[in-house]
Amino acid sequence: MVVNVSSPNTPGLRDLQAEGVLRDLLTGVRAELDGVAPGKPLFVKIAPDLADAGIDAAVDAALESRCDGLICTNTTIQRSGLSYDAQWVAERGAGGLSGAPVRARSTAVLARVARRLRAGGHDAMPLIGVGGIDSAEAAWEKIGHGASLVQVYTGLIMRGPWLVRTIVEGLRERLDRCGLASIQAAVGREL
Ligand SMILES: Cc1cc2nc3c(=O)[nH]c(=O)nc-3n(C[C@H](O)[C@H](O)[C@H](O)COP(=O)(O)O)c2cc1C
């Protein structure tokens, strides 16, 4: 089960990422889940627009409420670095931006989460990296920055279903090049 408190498309949803609110929410969900589906993994999905303190607080809330992992990240409300005319972009309205424009920020958030977990001795906690993965290189980047699983959404739409094969083959090549036996050995190497 994933608690998604990070979509910019639902008014007020991201307010649930506030420290105490998130801890209470996750603790409540964990308790319910333990009752109806013991052992079911619980993840929390966070926004790329959180400030550093907010990221740290989300990690701490996830740990305190015995979450099994975090998903980094949802779409962004930022509109920087786009090649489109700013006016045209503004006219498209509010909402989350996905794909290539969110890739670097998502990876930065992922890395901060992974470092905080590592510092607290929780580096076995799985992280799902998502945001702008449209190639093996982009998936490798997430893995190197702490993801033990990756999710593709926009990349799948832009590149088509063969993207998955391309990523798998590219990851295998990179493992061979680095002399690593498994993806697990590559997780967090860039931190
Ligand atoms: C059209 C669309 C709908 C989405 N709906 C959800 C959703 O319902 N719940 C959620 O957690 N994330 C949702 N997301 C966010 C994606 O799961 C993902 O976190 C984000 O798009 C970044 O990955 P990407 O760059 O590969 O698309 C949605 C994204 C898009 C583009």
Tens of pLDDT, residue by residue over 48-84, are 999 999 999 999 999 999 999 999 999 999 998 899 9
Question: Which structural domains are found in the chain, ordered by start?
Answer: 2-186 (3.20.20.70)
CA-to-CA separations, 163 to 86, 133, 157, 182, in angstroms, rounded = 30, 10, 9, 20
* pLDDT computed for residue 154 by the predictor: 98
Q: What is the mean pLDDT of residues 141-160?
A: 98
Tell me the C-alpha distance between 23 and 66, whole Å. 10
Q: What is the mean pLDDT of the chain?
A: 95
pTM, two decimals, is: 0.96
Per-residue pLDDT, 18: 80
Closest-lying ligand 1 atom to the alpha carbon of residue 156: 26
Distance CA 112, CA 125 (A): 14
How far is the centre of ligand 1, averaged over its atoms, from the C-alpha of 36 (Å)? 27
Q: How confident is the model at residue 174, as a pLDDT?
A: 98
Question: Which segments within 80-163 are labelled E, that is strand?
Answer: 127-130, 149-151
> One of 7, 98, 106, 135 is an active-site residue; which one?
7
Averaged pLDDT for residues 21-47:
96
Cis upstream peptide for 73 (omega within 30°): yes
Q: Per-residue pLDDT for 17 more than 80? A: no
